[in-house]
């Protein structure tokens, strides 16, 4: 399968996994469902990689720990955002994290234009977004979660690069997801237990969570790792820039979330800013 197709399938798997998680929120709670999903993902990665920590430097372990914290925050906050906002809106705001990293490391004056375009897109999303509530009809708590997820996403990108250089294959990812499980436990473990105890079919519920965990995050990471071995980081970044649009499409087709014209324009602005920043960056 061509590398660009792998990237698109990966993005689709992520958004389908997010959409499939929404029904679980009502049974297990946002934190409970997120905790179980990451726990299953960690178990799968540990079983397949069996990482060896002996001989690892404190710096390597610290980077894996920070990646785990960033992953936990990103996953939990984005789940909270999706529970309160349309998927396309939440994903677009979260995508400001990697866009900010790209703009900071580009260090070119012209990239201010891309930053302004992205800011305009977010303004369209938040100030003119449809729905009821504050901030132009969008849930203010959901918006706070989305911006928090964006900050964690930026940290995730920075730490992933360092962990990827220090560990072989998926070993670093397995360690970081194990740490993410520990970080999420105080927020979601009790909620998950209550949800399972109150369910008529806890076995089927766990099976559903395991299926969602395979859909996201296990499958996307495997596909992205394979794709990156076949294509340049630059091309990969351009394709990944389509993620907010894919999220909006999945939200429409799977959850029936119809976005208004200002929201669609906002998504287009952020996608265009990301593509522009990538294509005009120094090689």
CA distance linking residue 96 with residue 1, whole number of Å: 30
Per-residue model confidence as pLDDT tens for the chain (283 residues):
888 899 899 999 999 999 999 999 999 999 999 999 999 999 999 999 999 888 889 999 999 999 999 999 999 999 999 999 999 999 999 999 888 887 877 667 677 888 889 888 888 888 776 544 334 578 999 999 999 999 999 998 888 878 888 888 889 889 999 999 999 999 999 999 999 999 999 999 999 999 999 999 889 877 887 787 787 767 777 788 888 999 999 999 999 998 888 889 999 999 998 888 877 766 5
Q: What is the pLDDT of residue 135?
A: 44
Do residues 92 and 122 touch, judged by C-beta distance below 8 A? yes
The CA-to-CA distance between both ends of the chain, in Å, stands at 26
Q: What is the pLDDT of residue 136?
A: 53
Number of folded domains that form the chain: 1
Do residues 126 and 138 touch, judged by C-beta distance below 8 A? yes
Range of the domain at 235: 3-279
* Closest of 71, 56, 99 to residue 221, by C-alpha: 71
Question: SS3 letters for 127-193?
Answer: HCCCCCCHHHHCCHHHHHHHHHHHHHHHHHHHHHHHHHHHCCCCHHHHHHHHHHHHHHHHHHHHHHH
Residues in the chain: 283
Do residues 211 and 16 touch, judged by C-beta distance below 8 A? no
CA distance linking residue 16 with residue 99, whole number of Å: 22
DSSP category for residue 258:
P
Radius of gyration of the chain (CA): 18
């Amino acid at each position: 399968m061509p590398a660009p197709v792998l990237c698109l399938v990966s993005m689709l798997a992520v958004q389908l996994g997010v959409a499939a998680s929404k029904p679980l929120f009502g049974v297990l709670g946002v934190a409970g469902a997120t905790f179980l999903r990451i726990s299953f993902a960690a178990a799968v990665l540990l079983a397949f990689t069996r990482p060896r920590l002996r001989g690892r430097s404190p710096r390597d372990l610290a980077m894996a720990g920070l990646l785990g914290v960033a992953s936990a925050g990103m996953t939990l906050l984005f789940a909270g955002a999706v529970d309160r906002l349309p998927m396309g809106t939440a994903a677009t705001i979260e995508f400001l994290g990697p866009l900010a990293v790209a703009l900071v490391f580009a260090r070119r004056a012209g990239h201010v234009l891309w930053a302004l375009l992205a800011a305009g897109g977010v303004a369209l999303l938040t100030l003119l977004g449809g729905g009821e509530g504050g901030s132009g009809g969008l849930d203010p708590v959901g918006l706070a979660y989305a911006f928090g997820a964006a900050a964690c996403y930026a940290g995730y990108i920075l730490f992933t690069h360092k962990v990827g250089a220090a560990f072989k294959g998926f070993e670093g990812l397995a360690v970081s997801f194990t740490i993410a499980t520990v970080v999420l436990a105080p927020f979601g473990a009790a909620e998950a237990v209550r949800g399972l105890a109150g369910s008529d079919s806890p076995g089927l519920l766990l099976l559903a969570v395991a299926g969602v965990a395979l859909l996201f995050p296990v499958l996307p990471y495997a596909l992205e790792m394979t794709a990156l071995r076949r294509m340049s980081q630059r091309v990969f970044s351009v394709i990944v820039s389509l993620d907010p649009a894919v999220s909006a499409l999945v939200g429409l087709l799977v959850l029936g979330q119809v976005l208004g014209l200002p929201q669609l324009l906002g998504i287009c602005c952020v996608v265009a800013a990301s593509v522009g920043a990538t294509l005009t960056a120094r090689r």
